[in-house]
Structure 1
Amino acid sequence: MTPPRLRPLAAALALLAAAAGVLAAPAPAAAQSAADVAVAREIFIEGSEFAKQGNWDQARERYERSLAIKRAPITLYSLGVAQQQTGLLVEALESFRAFLVEPSAPATKEYEPLARQAVQDLERRVAALEIRLSPGNVAGLAVKLDGVTVPVAALDRPRMINPGTHVVTASARGYREVRRSVSAAPGSRAILVLNLERDGVARPAAGPRAVAPRGLPAGEVAAAEPAAGNLVPIALLVGGLTTFAAGVAVGLVGVVNASDAPTRDGDAADAARAQALAGDLVAGAGLAAAGAGALVLLLGRPPESAPRAPAPRAAVSPLGLTVRF
């Protein structure tokens, strides 16, 4: 009794013998030419030689080329074996299924039980991936699995995948591309939910622009503006301090003259007292001016006579974009 799994060396020899008869059969008039059939048979034999050596990658490549030239049941079966050996379980499953729907022939009849057993085994081992999109009904939707486009009409069904890690991308007009990796164990079923987010970047609205004074670089507008606004309070502070100092000096001179007067009630004493009073008044006025200038500088507010240019403002639109997988 033949074991469920194909024994690579023995099976390759048996397939080679079967191919000699199947591929040598005359082709229909509308099918490949005799030269094409000969090339397909030659490439198939090369694939069988690689299979005997255990070089299944090369064997699979030769079987694919041979099948592309001439479709033959034995090539489908051989390709399924090579795909199964190289981990392409989904592809192997479909190759075996395609072999089983071909008309039964004496040369390949003995492989039919093995193909049925392989189908049952692969159906348990392949994984499935269900892709869910939100929103799902958008224009220009494009979904790719490992770089291969998935038809939109097939998105509502679980998709067979080989065990391992896969990359899924989804995009649509007006939406950002979503990219996600998913790992699937043999025989597992994974559900991947992709949330499409609208594309778009909010930009600041145009606002008033400050104009640089002549001869001043535009980058120095902010630094030059407050300096012009501070000229008046600085002048008040400096002038007030100077006036205060002058008043104090005049008052001191008046005090000295009053103390030197011969009598307290004479003209000299009255003039000295008047000079001291004037000095006090001048010093008080200077102190008041200096205090006003200092207060303006501390509060950062220029007097009404020196209005400041309005600072430029920009209105920024709020951004409410989120990315969820």
Structure 2
Amino acid sequence: MRKARAAVAAVLVAAGVALSAGPLRAEPTGAEQEIARVRMAEGRARFAKSDFQGALTAFTEADEIMKVPTTGIARALTQQRLKRLLDARDIALRVMRYPVSPSEPPEFTKARVEAAKLSEELLARIPAIEITVEGPPSGAAVVVKLDGSVLPRSAAGLRRMVDPGRHTITVAAPGYMTERLTVMAAQGDVVPVEVVLRSAPLAAPDVRRPELQARSTPRWPGWVGAGGALASAAAAVFAADFGIAQRAVDRRCPTYEGGGYDCPSLTAAQARDLEARRNRDLVLAISFGGVGAGALVAAAVGYLSAPSSRERARPTPTVTGWVASSGGGGVIQGSF
């Protein structure tokens, strides 16, 4: 471990020295090169403290500026420490593909050699998952997702390289139940995963008699009942007011003479208003009461003629009416 750490440290130091030797692309500005040198120094310090995530951030910024073998290998070695083996190998391969310049510093050559060695080592360590799907016929639209990413159909049955750790596989196909499972992939392992899709259950057929299937619960009894209840409530209000007016007449107008009430304590206008109020309340109470009673009866008939609760897909509102000497009303229960 100490030898490996020392080797990594040597590569990182060489990367910092080689920054001033010139890149393999368009020359960065002096300010950009200075930023890259600072970020490389910061990355080495964080790497020495095992802050690999912080080191990767610094090395990545430097590599994006310089794009030379030394910054690339520093980035790849840090990815390796974070167990991001796929990314580490991709960067190592990129370092190997940088064009060679006759005037390049020896640190670049060492970085290429280190990248080739790292690439071979990672290839042996990177695990793979081999997914096969059973159940759907050939040509079915099977969708396989690995960690949320859809795999191309051409990759079916092939090994898929992944980073070490836990991975989620989801397989779906029309007419089949979706399967989801989690697998662990250790370094160097090839994990075979066989997913067997089961046919989705068919919807239960409607086995009711045809005449019951054609019948549906009408909604009009509920609405008629609601109107009847409102009419009955209005009748109750006017009946109550009629009772108040009648008691006032009985108390203040004890006799009826000459086609009108004799009300000693009221003026003629007040007596006429009281009589008119009494008569109006009586007429309205009777009218609304009749309408409400008729509506409640119609709603009850409509409800009773509808399919029974065992045959209905949804409950029909229920209506309960009441009538008293002073008025009437109704109660609606259910949904409309």
Could you state the TM-score of these two structures normalised by the residue count of structure 1?
Answer: 0.54
Structure 1 residue matching 2:99: 3-state secondary structure = coil
Distance in 2 (alpha carbons) for counterparts of 1:174 and 1:161? 30
Please give the secondary structure, in 2, of the residue aligned with 1:99.
helix
Match in the other structure for 1:298: none
2:77 to 71, 76, 81: 81
Aligned to 1:179: 180
Return closer, same or farther for 1:144/1:51 CA change in 2, 3 Å cut-off.
Answer: same
> Which structure has more strand as a fraction of its residues?
2
Distance 2:32 2:174 in 1: 45
Query: Which stretch has the larger CA shift, 173-182 or 60-69?
Result: 60-69
CA contact (8 A) 2:16 2:37 kept: no
Once the two structures are superposed, what CA deviation does each residue of 1:258-282 show, in whole Å capped at 9, x if it has no partner?
Answer: xxxxxxxxxxxxxxxxxxxxxxxxx
Alignment partner, residue 194 of structure 2: 193
Q: What is the percentage of aligned positions where both structures have the same residue?
A: 24
AA in 1 matched with 2:126:
V
Question: Which AA in structure 2 matches 1:58?
Answer: G
Structure 1 residue runs of 4 or more that deviate by more than 6 Å after TM superposition: 32-38, 210-213
Distance 1:191 1:93 in 2: 23
User: Does the 8 Å CA contact 1:74/1:108 hold for their aligned counterparts?
Assistant: yes
When residues 221 and 167 of structure 1 are mapped into structure 2, their CA distance, relative to the original with a 3 A threshold, is closer
Residue-by-residue CA offset, 1:217-271 (whole Å, 9 max, x unaligned) = 943889xxxxxxxxxxxxxxxxxxxxxxxxxxxxxxxxxxxxxxxxxxxxxxxxx
Corresponding residue to 1:58 among 51, 54, 57: 54
Distance of 2:311 and 2:80 partners within structure 1: 74
Aligned position for 1:47:
43
With over 3 angstroms needed to count, the CA separation of the structure-2 counterparts of 1:94 and 1:205, relative to structure 1, is same
- The aligned residue for residue 219 of structure 1 is 309
Structure 1 Cα separation of the partners of residues 161 and 82 of structure 2? 17
Asked whether the 8 Å contact 1:13–1:52 carries over to 2, the reply is no
Residue 21 of structure 2: aligned partner: 21
Shift of 1:68: 4.7
Letter in 2 for 1:99: V
What is the SS of the residue equivalent to 1:108?
helix
| Cα displacement string for residues 179-213 of structure 1 (whole angstroms, at most 9, x for unaligned residues) | 11112232121111123345564133151339899
Kept in 2, the 8 Å contact 1:15–1:48? The answer is: no
Q: In structure 2, do the counterparts of structure 1 residues 11 and 71 end up closer, same or farther at CA, with 3 Å as the change threshold?
A: closer
RMSD (Å), alpha carbons: 3.7
Post-superposition shift, 1:86?
0.9
Matching of residue 164 in structure 1 with residue 165 in structure 2: yes
The unaligned stretches of length 5 or more in structure 1 are 223-325
Between Structure 1 and Structure 2, whose CA radius of gyration is higher?
Answer: 1
Q: What does 1:307-318 correspond to in 2, within 5 Å?
A: none
Instruction: Tell me: CA distance 1:63–1:165, structure 2 relative to 1, closer, same or farther (3 Å).
Output: same
Rounded Cα–Cα distance in structure 1 between residues aligned with 2:174 and 2:36: 45
Compute the displacement of 1:43 (Å).
4.4
TM-fit CA distance, 1:85: 0.8
After TM superposition, the structure 1 = structure 2 runs for residues 1-325 of structure 1, keeping only pairs within 5 Å, are 7-23=7-23, 27=26, 43-68=39-64, 71-104=67-100, 105-106=104-105, 107-134=107-134, 135=136, 137-138=138-139, 140-199=141-200, 201-205=202-206, 207-208=208-209, 209=212, 214=301, 218-219=308-309
Identify unmatched segments of 5+ residues in structure 2.
218-299, 313-336
1:8–1:176 Cα change, 3 Å: same
Residue-pair matches, total: 217
The residue identity in structure 2 corresponding to 1:13 is: V
State the one-letter code of the partner of 2:182: S
Q: Distance in 2 between matches of 1:80 and 1:10?
A: 14
- 8 Å CA contact retained: 2:25, 2:67: no
What is the CA-CA distance between 1:110 and the residue it aligns to? Answer: 1.7
Question: Residue in 2 aligned with 1:244?
Answer: none
SS of residue matched to 1:12: helix
Residue 46 of structure 1 deviates from its aligned partner by: 3.8
SS at 1:219 equivalent = coil
TM-score (structure 2 length as normaliser): 0.52
2:284 counterpart residue number: none
With over 3 angstroms needed to count, the CA separation of the structure-2 counterparts of 1:109 and 1:220, relative to structure 1, is: closer
